[in-house]
Structure formats: structure tokens, C-alpha cells
Amino acid sequence: MRKIDSSQLRAASPEPFVSRARHSPPPAVVNGNSKRDRILAAGLRLFANEPYQAVTMDRVAATAGVAKGTLYLYFQSKEALYLGILSDGLETVSKRYRAKMDTRQDVAARLGNAIDVTIQFYDERRDLLRLIATEEPRLAEARNRLIQNYRERGFVFYTTLIEEGMRVGAFARTDSRLATLAILGAIRSVLLNYGATRPAERISEELTNFFFKGLLSRPHGNHRAEQRQ
């Protein structure tokens, strides 16, 4: 498998300003999920909306509706909890890709599905998207290593689809890395800065159409005619 330049991978995830203003204490997470799921949901809500140093294990336990001792059975430190939240979220989106991909579909349909899965997933988990987009210097090395591992997998996933499309003539010849960076960067930027005002289905449809206009293969004569207009 081709090695991906780490500087290109970082560019795929722009880091716009994310407000971290103090919020009133969130309500306890009291749904029927497992204790671990409730802890992860509570920690994500707090870490995504408040500075790292403001989040304490006591507050996470209270928000999750569990005893502090129970919290430490699952995560031995605040650092372990923070990294566990990132790992769980990124692994979940990876599983979502695998579950939604149908190899019987043509490559254009699979790429469209991948874009839709990404948008739907992060639209449902905007706190996770904010957490990924916000640096945390105290855990920089471990955090960046974790995110880069999953980001590279996603990058290769999209690049492979685009290159397959070029091989079979479904997509025009292009720089597959550049196309992947554009797709992933646009998805994250739109959801972080604009997506809350639009239904996720509409965002998915419009972004997919936008990228397919550039990717879909077409006769050279038509391309030259468009350039002259």
C-alpha cells in the first residue's frame, strides 16, 4: 500500500476556530445504554464544549449518572478517558463504512455512499467532530498518533475508490490524493461552519453532486468546449 504523506493527511482536516465558551452543566446521561456508553457520551459532551482543564472525572461521573469508582473501572485517568472517546468515535465511523459498503454497486455509487456515510455520521456526532478539530496540547503526541492512524485509513479508503473509478473509466484522470483531500476537507469544514443550518441529507446530496461534476469522466471534446464558453 502506498505510504501517505502525513502533511497531506493533516491538511484533510482543517481546524477552524471552535468556540469553547463555558456552558451550564449538561444534564445527566440517563438513557438505557451501558455504563461505558454513558461515560463516553458524557465525557464527549464535556470535552467537546469546554476546555480540557475544566473537565474533571467527578463531573464526567455525575453527567453519566455513575459513581466515580465505576468511572475508574473503565478509565483509569482523565487522559485515558479523552483518548478512549476519540478511539471509540473513530472506530465507530470505520465500522459504519464497512457496514454500508456494497461491493455489488458501481464505483460511483460506492463513492457517493461513502460521502453520505461520512456526512450522516458526523452530523449525528457534532461533538466528536469538534473534539477532533480542536488541538489539545497536553495530549498532543498520543492524540495525534491516534487520529493519524484512523485518518490514514480513511484517506486510503477514499483514494482507492477514486483510483478504481479512473481505471474503469467512470472518473476522469485526476490526482486522487488531491480529490480525497478536497472531499474530506469540504465535509468537515461544511459541518463545522455551516452544516447546522441545513439537513444532512441535503448537504450530502449537494456535496456529492459538486464533486461528481469534477470527477465524472467525459469526452475531451466536451471539456474543451466548456473551457471556451
Residue 15 has pLDDT above 50, yes or no: no
Fold of 20-76: Arc Repressor Mutant, subunit A (1.10.10)
Q: Is residue 47 classed as helix, strand or coil in its secondary structure?
A: helix
Set of cell numbers at residue 108:
460511483
Give the pLDDT of residue 58. 97
Residue 170 main-chain phi, psi, to 5 deg? -75, -30
pTM across the whole model:
0.73
- The lowest-confidence range among 37-46, 74-83, 208-217 is 208-217
* Dist CA 37 CA 32 (whole Å): 9
Give the pLDDT of residue 217. 58
Give the pLDDT of residue 196. 66
The answer to whether 20-76 and 79-217 have equal CATH topology is: no
Q: What is the mean pLDDT of residues 50-77?
A: 96
Q: What is the mean pLDDT of residues 22-34?
A: 51
> 188: closest CA among 55, 9, 6, 21?
9
In the block, residue with C-alpha cell 461521573: 61
Give the pLDDT of residue 153. 87
Q: Does domain 79-217 have CATH number 3.50.50.60?
A: no
* Max mean pLDDT range (51-65, 100-114, 121-135): 51-65
Give the pLDDT of residue 83. 95
* Max mean pLDDT range (4-8, 71-75, 133-137, 170-174): 71-75
> 98: closest CA among 113, 108, 83?
113
Give the pLDDT of residue 191. 85
What is the band of 192 on the pLDDT scale with cuts at 50, 70, 90?
confident
Give the pLDDT of residue 53. 93
Angle between helices 78-100 and 57-64 (to 10 degrees): 50
Q: What is the mean pLDDT of residues 41-53?
A: 95
Q: Are residues 181 and 11 in contact, defined by beta-carbon separation less than 8 angstroms?
A: yes
Q: Is the dihedral of CA 128, 130, 134, 136 positive or negative?
A: negative
| 129-175 residue pLDDT tens | 889 888 888 888 899 899 888 888 889 999 999 999 999 999 999 99
> Domains of the chain: which residue ranges?
20-76, 79-217
Q: What is the mean pLDDT of residues 35-63?
A: 96
